[in-house]
Structure formats: C-alpha cells, structure tokens
Structure 1
Amino acid sequence: MKPKISLVTLGVADLERSLAFYREGLGLQPHEYDPDAGVVFFPMEGSWLALFPREELAKDAGIGAAGSGFSGITLAHNEPDKAGVDAVFAQAVAAGATVIKPAQDVFWGGYSGYFADPDGHVWEVAWNPLTDLT
C-alpha cells in the first residue's frame, strides 16, 4: 500500500448546512457540486474531503449511525504563523464553529486551538515552529 490518505469522509446531519460551513468557515470550494448527488467533494492538497449524510455513511460501512462524545479523531490544518491560526479560527467561528479550546501557546512550543464543525467533527488549527506542515 502506498502510505497516503486520499479521502476523508465526514458523516453529517444536514448536507446543505455542512456545505455552507465548509465554504464559509474554511473557504473550501466544492468540486463539480450537484445538489442531487447527495455528496460533496472538496479537493485539497494531496487529498480530498467529502461530506456525506451520516446515516448513509454508516449504512454503507455496515455499522450503526449512533455515536456520541469524542470519536478519537481530530482533523488538523496548519498555518505558517500565529496570525494565520487566528484568522482561520475566526473565520470558522464566524461561520458557526463551536470553540472547544481557543487558540493559544501550547506545551510543545507551537500555537493551536480546537473547534467543532456543526456536526461535532473536531478540527485543530495550529502553527508548528518545529516542522513546516503548511
């Protein structure tokens, strides 16, 4: 297997609401979006992000759709500096993100904060002075 994650699919409760959040909150642009397709794809550098109704995603995987609390996964976006972290964080919050942990200096020497999208998917926005992940 080639070590690469090509697609991350998020199960969402309301596809249109989530589409609006990812457009406005993170500035992502959908690829050939068709409102009747029931799925949204966003091209990203080196991978894709998809939004798919949670019930349908669970059905496709053959598992129950019920879930609560922390799923054990976070998604991360890195910026080249603290100001970039603050700008992305503010944009996401303005579009409806819920602040989990405000952006701040962190124990490992960087700067980061966490927010949840409208479906509770947890995102970290960070600046890492040790490794350029931008």
Structure 2
Amino acid sequence: MEPRLSLVTLGVTDLDRSVAFYRDGLGWPTSHKPGDGVAFFKTKGTVFSLYPIEGLADELPDTDFKPVAGPCGITLAHNVREKQEVDAALKLAEAAGAVIRKPAADTFWGGYSGYFADPDGYLWEIAWGAFPIDDDGHLVLP
C-alpha cells in the first residue's frame, strides 16, 4: 500500500454551518452547493470533506456504531511557513466562529503553536517550526 492519505472526512452536526466556517470563514475553496450531501475542499495534498455525522453510521455495517462529532483523540494540523502566521490563522479562525483552545505560545519542541476548535469541536493545531514547507505547501520531513 502506498503511504498516502487521500481524504479526511469530519462528521459534522450541521453541514451548512460547517461549510460556511471553512469556506467563508477560513477561505477554503469548495465546489459545494446548497443541497449537496457532502462538501469537498481542495487542499494541498489531501482532500478535506465534511459529511453529516448521521450518514457515517449508515455507511458502516456495525449497528452499534454511534458516531460522535468533535474531538476523539486526534488533532488536525495546519503548519505555516512563518511564526507570525500562527497568530494570524488563529485570529482568522476565531473571527469565523472557532473557539481558541490554546493561545499560541512557544513549544517544548522548539516551535510555536496554538489550537482552535471548529464548530463541532474538532481540534486544529496551527504550528510553525516543526518542519519546513516546500513551494507546493507540503511538509518536508527529515
């Protein structure tokens, strides 16, 4: 299996609200139209999507599966090229309706980062300093 993450989908409680947050608030491009059952956002390297949380349970054969939106032991990360971009991204997210969960600060690993929660409580880290970013927006790993 090739090492690739093709699509990340968040189960959301209100698709229109979440689309507005990511599209209008954060400025992420999407072809989503009202009435579409899913929203796809083109990002660098991975497609990001939003899907009604109830629909996730319908896709799985396990009838005991109870999907819950929000933090579930993972965080999503958006790494930036310059330290000051962390504060700017957190301010943008907060203006779009996010809740700042951890203000930006220097980290134990020598970088600078902060966290926000989206409308469903999914945690996003905005980080600088861990890895360089190439011209295409991809992380450069050692």
**TM-based fold match above 0.5:** yes
User: Secondary structure of 1:88's partner?
Assistant: helix
Asked whether the 8 Å contact 1:24–1:91 carries over to 2, the reply is: no
Corresponding residue for residue 96 of structure 2: 95
Encode CA deviations 1:62-103: one digit per residue, 9 max, x unaligned: 4212467x4111000011112111111100000010111001
Structure-2 residue corresponding to 1:71: 72
- Alignment deviations for residues 17-69 of structure 1 (CA, whole Å, 9 cap, x no partner): 000100133210113x232221000011111000000111122134212467x
**Aligned residue in 2 for 1:12:** 12
Matches within 5 A, 1:32-111: 33-62=32-61, 63-66=65-68, 70-111=71-112
Aligned residues: 131
User: Is the contact between residue 21 and residue 118 of structure 1 (CA under 8 Å) also seen in structure 2?
Assistant: yes
| Letter of the 1:125 counterpart | I
CA RMSD of aligned residues (A): 1.6
Q: Among the aligned pairs, what percent are the same residue?
A: 53
8 Å CA contact 1:25, 1:97 repeated in 2: no
| AA of the residue aligned to 1:65 | P
* Unmatched runs of 5 consecutive residues or more in structure 2: 138-142
Kept after mapping to 1: 8 A contact 2:9/2:48:
yes
| Maintained 8 Å contact 2:13/2:69 | no
Is the Cα–Cα contact under 8 Å of residues 26 and 92 in structure 2 kept in the other structure? yes
Aligned counterpart, 2:140: none
1:23 aligns with 2:33: no
Inter-partner Cα distance in structure 1 for 2:68 and 2:41: 25
| TM-score computed with the length of structure 1 as normaliser | 0.90
Give, in whole Å, the separation in 2 of the partners of 1:97 and 1:60: 29
Per the normalisation by structure 2, the TM-score is 0.85
Identify which range, 40-49 or 56-65, moves more after superposition.
56-65
Q: Give ranges in structure 1 of 5+ residues lacking alignment.
A: none
1:105 maps to amino acid: D
The residue number in structure 1 matching 2:127 is 126
Whether the 8 Å CA contact 1:39–1:50 is kept in 2: the answer is: yes
In structure 1, what is the Cα distance between the partners aligned to 2:69 and 2:14?
16
